[in-house]
Amino acid sequence: MANHKSAEKRIRSDRKKRLQNRLEHKTARNAIKNLKEVKTKKKGISMLPNVFSLIDKLSKKNIIHSNKAANLKSKLNKFVSSL
**Surface-to-core class of residue 76, CB atoms within 10 Å of its CB (0-12 exposed, 13-18 middle, 19+ buried):** buried
What pLDDT, on a 0 to 100 scale, did the predictor assign at position 57?
93
pTM of the model: 0.80
What pLDDT, on a 0 to 100 scale, did the predictor assign at position 1?
76
pLDDT digits (tens, 9 = 90+) for 15-60: 999 999 999 999 999 999 999 999 998 999 999 999 999 999 999 9
- What CATH superfamily classification does 5-82 receive? Ribosomal protein S20 (1.20.58.110)
DSSP code at position 43? H
Half-sphere exposure of 79 (CA within 13 A, CB side): 18
- Cα separations in angstroms, 6 against 9, 20, 21, 40: 5, 21, 22, 53
